[in-house]
Chain A
Amino acid sequence: MTTAEPLILGVESSCDETGIGIVRGTQLLTNTVSSSMDEHVRFGGVIPEIASRAHLEAFVPTLRAALADAGVSLEEIDAIAVTAGPGLSGALMVGVAAAKALAVATGKPLFAINHLVAHVGVGLIGRTPADGLPPALGALLVSGGHTEILRVVDIAGDVELLGSTIDDAAGEAYDKTARILGLGYPGGPAIDRLAAQGDPKAIRFPRGLSQPKYMGTAEVPGPHRYDWSFSGLKTAVARSVEQYEAAGLDVPVADIAASFQEAVVDIITSKAVLACTEHGITELLLGGGVAANRRLRELTQERCEAAGITLTVPPIPLCTDNGAMVAALGAQLVMSGRSPSGIAFGTNSSLPVTTVVLPKV
C-alpha cells in the first residue's frame, strides 16, 4: 500500500444516507450519496426500519456510481473504511455487512471507524499533508443525530468529547419544533427560512443547562459546563403556542421560529466557544447537517472571530452524512500506520469518540 497517498473507499450508513466516498490521500475523488429522506417526510422523522431497507436497495447502485464517478476500479483501492458507530444499529449493520463483503471479495484491509471523528476527518479534504491538522483543533458537530464539541489532538487516535447534548440533538429539536409550528419535515431549513422574517428577540426561550449550578467555573467546572439540553426548549415553544391559541390570538409563527432558532444557536455557539477558549483550541471545525443553517454559521463565525478562533466550515455536501468523510478518516488512519479492524467486528450504536477505529477482534 502506498501510505503516502492511499486510495480509500469509505462506506457510510449510520442514518438515512447511503454514502460511498473515495479519496486519494486528502484528495476527494467522489462523494456519492443516496438519501432516503423523502421516505421519512410523512413520518416527521427518520424511521430506522425504513432507512435500513433503503440502505439495502441503495448500496450496490451507489457503489457502482461512486466507482464510475471516481474513475477507479475495486482492484485499485488500497483499503476500505466503514462507519461502525455511533448511529442506528439496523442501518449501521447494512453498511458494515456490505463493507465486509467488499473486503472479502477484494482482499483489501478494512477499517471500522467512528462516525463522529469522520465528521472531523472531512475537514482535511483538500489540505496538503504539510498543512494538515493544527495542534489544537476543536470540532463542533451539529445534526439531526448529534450535538457535540470535540477536542482533536490526533485524529488517528486521540479525540476527546468535551461536551454533548444530554437529550435531543439540535436537529431533532428543529424537527420537533417545526412540527409544533406546522412547518413540516425536515425542520431545520423550514425554521431557518421563516426565522429570517421574524424577530429573534420577540420571545426569550430558555437556554438549557446555562444556570451556574450546571456551568460552574473554569477552575471548578459544573457537571454540564459544555453540555446542551434541548428538550426544555421544545416544551417552552409548545407552551408559547398554546398560550396564543388559548387567548384566541394568531400564533406569531415567524417570531417563534426566529426566537427558537436564536435560543438554539446562542447556546450552541456560546458553549462551544467557551470549551475552545478553556482548552486552548485555536481552530474550530463546524460539521453535521445543521452546519447548513444560516444563523448558526453566522453566529459561530462572529463569536469565533471575537475569541481569536479560526473557523472552518467544509462545503455543505461534506457536512451532512456521507462516505467521503469515512474515506477521509480511513486515509488518515492508513497514513499514520494504524492497524485495520479485520472482518469480525460488530457495530456499536453508541461508540464513544475516544474509539476512532475498532481494534481487530
Chain B
Amino acid sequence: MSTRQDRGYRSLLLSELLKTFRKWRTYIGFIAIAVLVPVVQVGLKLEGGSIVNSVTRSLSGDFFFVGNLFNGYFVTHLIMNSLWVHIPFLISLVAGDELAGEATAGTFRLILTRPVSRSRILMTKYAATLLYTAALVIFLGALSTMLGVALFGAGDLIVVKDGLTVIPEGDVLPRLGIAFGLAVWSMWCVASLAFLLSSLVENPIGPIIGTMTIIIVFFVIGNIPVELFASIKPYLFTSYLTVWQEALRVPIDWQGVLQTCLRLLAFSIGFYLITWYIFTHKDILS
C-alpha cells in the first residue's frame, strides 16, 4: 500500500535526482571515465603484450601458458586499480557538492523553509549521492569490460597478488560482477565521507580536497611498515577500500569479505550520523 508519506519520499527523491542529474558537475565523472578508459585501453593495445609479458616472463621457465592472457578481463583488472584514488576524486566532486553546493547557491533557503524535516531532506540527498556513486562505478565496470573484450578478446584472468592466480574464462564475469559490487560498497564509504565534509562548509572545494587528503594520508599511514601505524590501520576506513580484490581470489574468503563489508558499513553509518547531527543543528546563514 502506498501511503501519503511514501509518495512524499518518492517525489523528494525524484526532485533530488532531477537536481543531481541536471547538473553539469555530475557528468564530469562519467565523461572522465568515458575518455580515460578508451585512452588507456587503446594505449595498451598499441603497446602490445609487453606488460603481461613482464609479469609472466619470469614464470614462463616453469610454466607453459596457453591462450590469450593479455585479454579484456586482464585490462579491466588493471583499470580497477583506479578505484583507490581516481574514482574517489570523481565521487567527491558530486558528494562534496551535495550540501555545500546548496549553501553556495543560496538554495538551502528555498528548501529548508518547507514542511519537510531536515532529517528527511538529508536522507534523500544521501540516497541521491549513493545512487550517483553506484552509477559511476557500474559505468566504469561495464565500459572497461565491454571495451576490453571488444579490443582484446576474452580469456582466463591472471591475477598477481600473493602469488599467481588464474581464474578460468567461464568464471571471470561473475567474479568481476562481485568485484564491482564490492567496489560500489566501498565507494559508498568514500561518498559518505565527502558528504560529511560537505555539511561543514559552504563551498564544495573544501570537501573535495578534504576527502582526497584524508584518503591519501590514511593510505600512506596504513601502508608504512611501522608498528605504531600497523596498530591503527584497522581503524582507518581506507584499509578496507580494496575489498573488491577479494572477489578475484580462489577461493573467495566469504567470511573475510563479509567482515570487511560490515566494517565499511559501520564507517558509512558513522559518517552519516555525524552529518545528520551537524545538519539538523546548523543555523542556515548562507
Task: Answer whether A and B are interacting partners.
Answer: no
Q: Chain A residues in contact with chain B, CB under 8 A?
A: none
Interface, chain B (partner A; CB < 8 A)? none
